[in-house]
Amino acid sequence: MTGPGTGPGTGTGTGPERPEERIGRLERAFGPLEEPGNPLGQDALLAADARGEIPPGAEHVLDEQDFNAEFVPAPLGGRLDRLDVLGRVLRPVFRRDASLGFGYGLNCFFSAVPVWTAGRAEQRHRAARLLLGGDRIAVARHEVAHGNDFVRDEFAAAPDGAGGFLLSGRKSVIANAARAAGLVVFARTSDAPGGLSHSVLLLDRRELPAGRLRHLGRHTTTGMRSAEFGGLEAVDCPVPGEALIGGAGDGYELSLRSSLVIRGLIPSIVLSGADTALRTVAGFAARGRADGRSPLDGRHVRSVLTGAFLDQLLSDCLALVATRALHVLPRSMSAYAAAAAYVAPKLVAESMDALSAVLGEGTFAEDGRYGMFRKHLRDLPVTSLGHAGSAGRQVSILPQLPFFARHAWFSDPAPPPALFRLHGPLPPLDLSSPALLGGSDPLAATLVEGAAGEPADSPLYAPLTALTGELRELRKEFAAIEPGDRAALVSSYSFGLADRYALLLTAAACLGVWRGQLHGDDGDGGSGGRDGGGGGRADAFLADPAWVTAALHRLCHRLGLHLPPPPEEAGRRVVAEVLARLHGRRSYDLYGTALA
């Protein structure tokens, strides 16, 4: 590592690099994914994945790019000043290998969020020094009912009588357990009821007494096979009192607050792997046959490609809103982050299944041209943090919906345009500002405003009217739930309603992004255009009503809302864009980023 403030990401005398420059530089450093001789191309990635290893040289590339600086707040010497930019910078890595992206740095960010959120100045500087010096930070989370743990176990920290703690217990599966110098440990510190039983500790394992913290060995996994998941066991390990992050008993709240930040990044992770999968299948479908025909001649194949691309765009609209809301609407973003982390993996998983049917027997390839599809299909359940994560995200949405039904829906104003800008400026990042429960729902108001302003002869009128009608039905259902009626909130029926609400937020995010592009207002006066530059000019495809019409119809279909089919021209326009990005080597997200 070149050390904080000295690497290529800090720019030269002309000032800091813009995000697009960092992303482009990272793409070029890895080189073309499909190039046979590329030591970091798909052949090398697949061979290393089969061995359960990271490709030689891949982490060296990230070291050279000071990639860990992306996870450290700018005031502490890193480059993290916008969460939407962090989501974008992750994509060149996750398009290639989720194990590399997660194991090298993203898990370090997940681990460090409690420190950035509630740590004392000295703790934040310590965590920053670890990451900027090239070390890893791992997190050992507390056990929760129906959590994402492979097995149920946890740490406990008892007072040692001298102001510190004695740490005992074990966690069987911790990402980067063997290689992390820093540890963020959620440990039981009391038997207090509710959420006061756990506290959070920041440790530098190099300062712990020898033999008191033991590595339990590595676990193999079906997905993300190259990531290192191992166990740790502590035996009466002395921990200084100053290791405590926040206050005693703050563990549960810190976990919830960390989730608000982390969830907004989930769509960027899952859509990156799906980007490569879609490109793989689009290339398969576009290949010519001896008789001059191709799979693209089939209506079903075109429909699958269209749907998969729309799901990419919908997921990215959620990513955009969830990450920018942390800056723009921190008191309202709780439901948006949870919805983004809930919906995007579901959309991507279903489109991957449909793509599998098009690829056919190529889905089972472990190497060669189609091996990357199988790899990303296998990695997806791990990168989306599993089905238990989905349930937890719904649980965090549900308590807010009766309040929204009574006080927010059809009365809140629409959010500021900055929420939907792809590149525009944002207020400073403050990870401590989000509220655990939202007091308003301006994103839903985007649908109401859109339906009210759309003329009856517009192709968007029918889907927007149907979606707004669905919001009206949800208002009726949730307004009928009495305050404090927890049994009604956790019923399977309410879970189904929460699913529908999350899809309505997806539609609102999609509509907001399109309207922002339609008005050509991306906010920061840059060059804009296809190269992903600074904004200020609409992208021609994103300003076209074809994609948003097709996307809203797709969401209406998922909701079971019966509408006439969208105009055929909308589908043709979307398929044309799929092929244009395939042959023009551009990403299948909102940004159309140039690929190596």
pLDDT digits (tens, 9 = 90+) for 30-47: 999 999 999 999 999 999
**All residues at 6 or more sequence positions from 382 whose CB lies less than 8 Å from its CB, including other chains:** 98, 221, 223, 224, 227
Q: Note whether 146 and 161 are within 8 A (CB).
A: no
CB-CB neighbours of 451 under 10 Å: 19
Asked if 312 contacts 271 with a C-beta cutoff of 8 angstroms, the reply is yes
Q: Is residue 134 a contact partner of residue 115, using CB atoms and an 8 Å limit? A: no
Q: Report pLDDT for 2.
A: 42
Per-residue confidence band for 348, with pLDDT thresholds at 50, 70 and 90: very high
The answer on pLDDT for 250 being more than 90 is yes
Q: Indicate the pLDDT class of residue 16, thresholds 50, 70 and 90.
A: low
- Domain 138-249 matching CATH 2.40.110.10: the answer reads yes
Task: Render pLDDT for 265-276 as a digit per residue (tens, 0 to 9).
Answer: 999 999 999 999
pLDDT, tens digit, 9 for 90 and up, residues 351-372: 999 999 999 999 998 888 899 9
Angle at 58 between CA 176 and CA 10, to 5 degrees: 90
What is the C-alpha radius of gyration for the chain, rounded to an integer number of angstroms?
A: 24
Q: pLDDT band for position 143 (50/70/90)?
A: low
**How many Å apart are CA 155 and CA 414, to the nearest integer?**
45
Region 517-523: mean pLDDT is 70
Percent of the chain with pLDDT over 70: 92
Question: How many Å from the N-terminal Cα to the C-terminal Cα in the chain?
Answer: 24
Mean pLDDT of 302-314: 98
pLDDT at residue 490 tops 90: no
Least Cα distance to 237 among 185, 178, 179 occurs for 185
In this structure, whether the domain defined by 264-584 belongs to CATH 1.20.140.10 is answered with yes
Q: Buried b vs exposed e over 1-40: b needs ≥16 C-beta within 10 Å?
A: bbebeebbbbeeeeeebbbbebbbebbebbbbbbeeebeb
The crossing angle, in degrees rounded to 10, of helices 545-558 and 492-518 is 170
Compute the distance between CA of residue 155 and CA of residue 171 in angstroms, rounded to an integer.
Answer: 7
Does the pLDDT value for residue 13 go beyond 80?
A: no
140 three-state secondary structure: strand
| Every domain of the chain and the residues it spans | 8-135, 138-249, 264-584
| CA 532-326-542 angle, 5° bins | 30
Q: Give the pairing of strands 182-188 and 155-159.
A: parallel
Q: Which fold does the domain 8-135 belong to in CATH?
A: Butyryl-Coa Dehydrogenase, subunit A; domain 1 (1.10.540)
pLDDT of residue 146: 36
Three-point CA angle 506, 510, 514, nearest 5°:
170
> Please, are residues 241 and 260 in contact by the beta-carbon 8 Å criterion?
no
Question: Which of the residue ranges 145-149, 209-213, 507-511, 590-594 would you say has the lowest mean pLDDT?
Answer: 145-149
Across residues 335-342, what is the average pLDDT?
A: 96
SS3 7: coil
Q: Phi and psi for 157 in degrees, rounded to 5?
A: -125, 115
Mean pLDDT on 245-254: 94
Q: Pick the closest to residue 283 from 368, 349, 346, 223 (CA basis).
A: 368
pTM, rounded to two decimals:
0.92
Question: In which element (H, E) is residue 460 found?
Answer: none
Domain 138-249 and domain 264-584, same fold? Reply is no
pLDDT band at 537 (very low <50, low <70, confident <90, very high): low
pLDDT, tens digit (0-9, with 9 covering 90-100), for 383-421: 876 445 677 899 899 999 999 999 999 999 999 999 999
- Closest-CA residue to 516 (of 320, 263, 308, 272): 320
C-alpha to C-alpha distance for 552 and 542, rounded to whole angstroms: 14
pLDDT tens, 544-593?
999 999 999 999 999 999 999 999 999 999 999 999 999 999 999 999 99
- Binned at pLDDT 50, 70 and 90, residue 452 comes out as very high
* Three-state DSSP class for residue 216: strand
What count of other Cβ atoms lies within 10 Å of the Cβ of residue 206? 9
At residue 433, the pLDDT reads 92
Length of the chain in terms of residues written: 596
Mean pLDDT, the chain, integer: 90
- Per-residue pLDDT band at 249 (split at 50, 70, 90): very high
Q: Is the pLDDT of residue 525 over 90?
A: no
pLDDT 10s digits, 279-303: 999 999 998 777 778 899 899 999 9
Does 350 have pLDDT greater than 50? yes
Q: Which residue has the tokens 């589908």?
A: 571
Q: For residues 554, 451, 329 and 550, what is the CA-based torsion angle, rounded to 10 degrees?
A: 20
375 pLDDT higher than 80: yes
What per-residue confidence (pLDDT) applies to 381? 86
464 band by pLDDT with thresholds 50, 70 and 90: very high
> What three-state secondary structure class fits 186?
strand
pLDDT at 494: 95
Q: Give residue 293's pLDDT.
A: 86
